[in-house]
A and B are shown apart, each in its own frame.
Chain A
Amino acid sequence: MSLFGLGARQPTSAEKISAVENELKVIAEMHTRMIKICSTKCLDKTYREGELSKGEAVCLDRCSAKFFEAHQKISDQLQQQQQQQQGGGGRF
């Protein structure tokens, strides 16, 4: 668990719970964003069919994989740049 910034003292109960909750919140938000973006990029918006076509399904799989890869790449690059500027940094 990342209790970034809380320093050497023991975190309170509330802080520990909030930290986990926030970590999950970040992940949940990423989930929601990914769905919204990949739906926009991959789905036929005229909804002629109620079922996912093979093309749409494959597109969704690839879109989610690329989304994660882009997230990773951007996180790494940002971290690198911050380290160059300040000699510090954190994980996104």
Chain B
Amino acid sequence: MDAGLTNAEQRELENRLQKRQVKEFMNLFSGLVDNCFVSCVDDFTSKALSGRENGCLSRCVLKSMTTQTRLGERFAELNQAMTAEQQGKQ
């Protein structure tokens, strides 16, 4: 992507990217909670999660993480292809 950073600059960049990754993970987590709660929990006759709701939440997390992984792979492939095409045009 670029060839112009010194070692010190590279370290600073990695530092920032690491902080960004932590933030991204927190966003992923809270997004997961919100999304799975909205999809799975709708019975307020009790203040404890029902067995059905519990099961749904587990399946929701599982499916969401599998989706993340799969789309992560697709994204990397597609992004690489797009970048290559853009460079070809230049």
A residues whose Cβ falls under 8 Å from a Cβ of B: 1, 13, 16-17, 19-21, 23-25, 27-28, 30-32, 34-36, 38-39, 43, 45-52, 57, 60-61, 64-65, 68, 71-72, 91
A72 to B79, CA, bound (A): 11
- The majority secondary structure among interface residues of chain A is helix
Give how many B residues have a beta carbon under 8 Å from the other chain's beta carbons: 38
Cα of A49 to Cα of B60 in the assembled complex, Å: 8
Closest beta carbon of chain B to A29's beta carbon, Å: 10
Q: A52–B39 contact, CB under 8 A? A: no
Least distance between A2 CB and chain B CB atoms (Å): 9
Distance between Cα atoms of A31 and B21 in the complex (Å): 13
- List which B4-24 residues lie within 8 A (CB) of chain A: 4-6, 8-9, 12-13, 16-17, 20, 24
B63 touches A31 (CB 8 A): no
Main secondary structure on chain B at its contact with chain A?
helix
B30: Cβ under 8 A from any A Cβ? no
Interchain CB contact under 8 A, A35 and B67? yes
Q: Which B residues are CB-close (under 8 A) to A21?
A: 13, 16-17, 20
Report the bound CA distance from A34 to B31 in whole Å: 14
**19 contacting pairs across A/B (C-beta < 8 A):** A17-B13, A32-B27, A34-B75, A38-B71, A39-B67, A46-B39, A47-B39, A47-B63, A49-B63, A50-B62, A51-B66, A52-B66, A52-B67, A61-B70, A61-B74, A64-B78, A65-B74, A68-B82, A72-B82
- Pair B13/A52 contact, Cβ less than 8 Å: no
Which B residue sits closest to A11, measured CB to CB?
Answer: B4
With A1-B1, A20-B1 in contact, is A50–B58 under 8 Å at CB?
Answer: yes
With a CB–CB cut-off of 8 A, which chain B residues contact A38? 67, 71
